Amino acid sequence: MHIMEGFLPASHALGWTIVSAPFVVAGAVSLRRILRDRPEARLTLAAAGAFTFVLSALKLPSVTGSCSHPTGTGLGAIAFGPSVMALIGTIVLLFQALLLAHGGLTTLGANVFSMAIVGPWVGWAAWKAASAVGLPASVGVFLGAALADLSTYLVTSFELALAFPDPASGFFGAFVKFAGIFAVTQVPLAIAEGLLVIVVMNALIGRLPGRIDGTIAGVR
């Protein structure tokens, strides 16, 4: 889902940066609030960040014959709400942009929007919706993690289609083309991430969260 350095026109790069910046600031505020109100949660928070670090470093083969990486942002979004993940995801993306030439500084805003903002919000909403309709906790966690992953790649396809509409078929044709590259590849990987997050969540907090109050009461 990384849009490479220089692969967005300057106006798009600036636009996505402006869209993403307030979310990252809100993420920093949210992080401070969590650390102030629940200092005992700092370990789980560190683990959620670490999980995103690990998963975004793993490029895995998929059925389309290309490789892609999971995002790992669903776990933190389910445990702490989506806001704080904007900051955590940005840190991961900065690491990869500066040290690995994966993604870039001009495309950071667009990459933050897909991986650190939309992904966590979709994952959190899916988990909340699953809990609200009474699905088992494991199903809710699975859906939250898998959809955070998959939606990230759909947003990347959207961003690229907006910047590079197909000469013949326009925005929609380009979206289908980019989604064919990014989102289809991501389907089995998102399912694998969903399964993994059920296990990691359980190992991390000793149970699966099934409450619908936004954050998990009593997460340490």
Partner 1 sequence: MTSTLTPRTSIILLLLAAALVAAPMILPITGEFSGTDDVGSKAIEASHPGYVRWTQPFWEPPSKEIESTIFALEAAIGAGILGYVIGRRHGSRRRDDTDR
The tally of CA atoms less than 13 A away on the side-chain side of residue 154 is 12
Q: Nearer Cβ to partner 1, position 33 or 207? A: 207
In eight-state DSSP terms, residue 166 is B
DSSP letter string, 32-57: HHHHHH-GGGHHHHHHHHHHHHHHHH
- Dihedral (CA of 32, 128, 149, 164) sign: negative
The gap from C-alpha 76 to its chain's centroid, in whole angstroms, comes to 9
Report, in Å, the least distance between residue 177 CB and partner 1: 6
Interface pattern 17-36 for partner 1 (x via CB under 8 A) = --------------------
Query: Per rule CB under 8 A, is residue 215 in the interface with partner 1?
Result: no
Two tokens at 164?
Answer: 């590079």
Among 37, 39, 206, 213, binds partner 1 (CB under 8 A): 206
Query: Per rule CB under 8 A, is residue 129 in the interface with partner 1?
Result: no
Coil/strand/helix, residue 6: coil
Q: Which residues pair with 166 in a beta bridge?
A: 170
Among 35, 38, 202, 215, binds partner 1 (CB under 8 A): 202
Query: Per rule CB under 8 A, is residue 40 in the interface with partner 1?
Result: no
Q: Nearer Cβ to partner 1, position 26 or 129? A: 129
DSSP letter string, 70-96: ---HHHHHHHH-SHHHHHHHHHHHHHH
Report, in Å, the least distance between residue 148 CB and partner 1: 16
Report, in Å, the least distance between residue 121 CB and partner 1: 22
Among 14, 18, 32, 220, binds partner 1 (CB under 8 A): 220
Report, in Å, the least distance between residue 113 CB and partner 1: 16
Judge whether 79 and 44 are in contact, CB under 8 Å.
yes
Which residue type is seen at 15?
Answer: G
Report, in Å, the least distance between residue 208 CB and partner 1: 5
Q: Nearer Cβ to partner 1, position 26 or 53? A: 53
Among 54, 132, 170, 214, binds partner 1 (CB under 8 A): 54
Query: Per rule CB under 8 A, is residue 176 in the interface with partner 1?
Result: no
The gap from C-alpha 150 to its chain's centroid, in whole angstroms, comes to 8
